[in-house]
Amino acid sequence: MTHNSEENIKIGLKNLKRFLKKNGLYVGLDWWSFKHSDSKKRDYYEQKSFIKGDFAGISGVFFASEKKMMEFFNSWKVLHISEKVIKQKRQNKKKTIASLDIVAQNS
């Protein structure tokens, strides 16, 4: 899901909700957080390929905040949401890898 535009994420979740049984669970791991070093520190979709960093050569990455995740799952019962932030320091370079995990129930 995280390698889609905001519109396509909403469409995907709507379709998933339609086909998932009532009380069925969605477990989403490693949705990229806007706290990641490669993001612009806000909710957004990067359509162009990255030149450097963890996503070098990859296009189509959506970076989200916890607030944006709750918006995406506003018609679900969110059972768990957490953010992992890993700070790396190597050769005087600092890098942050950040992602969100979510467990939501189809209600």
DSSP-based three-state secondary structure for 79 = strand
Query: Where does the pLDDT of residue 3 fall: very low under 50, low under 70, confident under 90, or very high at 90 and above?
Result: very high
Positive or negative, the CA dihedral 27, 13, 101, 5 is positive
**pLDDT of residue 104 exceeding 90:** yes
Instruction: Kindly report the CATH number assigned to the domain that includes residue 95.
Output: 3.40.50.150
How many domains, the chain?
A: 1
Condensed to tens digits (0 to 9), the pLDDT of residues 13-61 reads 999 999 999 999 999 999 999 999 999 888 888 888 888 888 888 888 9
Query: pLDDT tens for residues 58-94?
Result: 888 999 999 999 999 999 999 999 999 999 988 778 8
Interacting residues of 53 by C-beta distance below 8 A, sequence separation 6+: 37, 38
pLDDT at res. 17: 96
78 in any annotated domain: yes
| Within a domain: 1 | no
Task: Domain of residue 81: give its range.
Answer: 6-105
